[in-house]
Amino acid sequence: MKSEDQDKMSEKNLDAELVAQAKQGKMAAFELLVNRYQQRVANVISKFVKDRHEIQDVAQEVFIKVFRALPNFRGDSSFYTWIYRIAVNTSKNHLVAKSRRIQNTQVEFEDAESFGSNEDFRNLDTPDAVYSRGELEQTMSKAIAQLPEDLKKAIVLREVDGMSYDEIALEMNCPIGTVRSRIFRARDAIDQALRPLLEDENMRKQHVR
């Protein structure tokens, strides 16, 4: 499997796993999602809001909305694209509430990924956040690399290529029940690999509080 495909799958699977854990009420998983995306959300907001303190306030509001709406997230788009739209709308609403003119009306039509490389708000990432994100991504990549080839291919076709179970069954020349089993086993292996990190994160947060 190409490393680029593996990287894409790693990102999407990590988001999917953290979202699933957060939907079950595991706050450590949600906090890790915040850590992963707080910088990029701040970059989006900065296209509308220029004051640094206001950017942080709007970012906090974005993640409150994300938390409340998380049960309704179905995964039709990537998790970041979903957050990106919430960030754009929240930024506009913030300006309207402040009776300010919305200057940058075309931001939502740009490529969401372009905001990931902005350096202006890199300092919003704490050392703990950077470490947690990096450790999670390394664990995810290792878990994927260790999957048997049939499980790896099934999860790539599902998560990276976005194929339906029927399409995967045709591509892999096997019954749809086998496809479901392979994807379930792949996700279970990834879950087992991530679980200790999520539990450690949860314990750390409880200790801090």
Encode pLDDT of 63-83 as tens digits.
989 988 988 888 777 888 899
Better pLDDT: 104 or 11: 11
Query: Minimum mean pLDDT among 27-36, 52-61, 118-127: which range?
Result: 118-127
Give the pLDDT band (50/70/90) at residue 170. Answer: very high
pLDDT reading at 192 higher than 90: no
Phi-psi region of 173 (alpha: psi -120 to 50; beta: other; left: phi over 0): left
Core vs surface per residue 92-116: b (16+ CB within 10 A) or e: bebbeeeeeeeeeeebbeeebeebe
- The single-letter DSSP state of residue 71 is G
Give the pLDDT band (50/70/90) at residue 150. Answer: very high
In sequence order, the 6+-apart residues with CB closer than 8 A to the CB of 146 are 189
Note whether 83 and 37 are within 8 A (CB). Answer: yes
pLDDT reading at 57 higher than 50: yes
pLDDT score, position 96: 84
Note whether 188 and 154 are within 8 A (CB). Answer: no
Quote the pTM value: 0.57
pLDDT score, position 121: 44
For the segment 143-155, the average pLDDT, to the nearest whole number, is 86
196-209 pLDDT per residue, tens = 776 665 565 555 55
pLDDT score, position 51: 84
86-139 pLDDT per residue, tens = 999 998 888 888 776 555 545 544 444 445 444 444 444 454 555 555 677 677
pLDDT score, position 169: 93
Mean pLDDT, the chain, integer: 75
For the segment 55-62, the average pLDDT, to the nearest whole number, is 89
Q: How many CA atoms lie within 13 A of 115 on its CB side?
A: 26
Better pLDDT: 169 or 139: 169
Q: Could you give all domains of the chain from N- to C-terminal order, each with its CATH number? A: 3-208 (1.10.1740.10)
**What are the respective helix, strand and coil percentages of the chain, to the nearest 5?**
80, 0, 20
Closest CA to 152 of 192, 191, 183, 195: 183
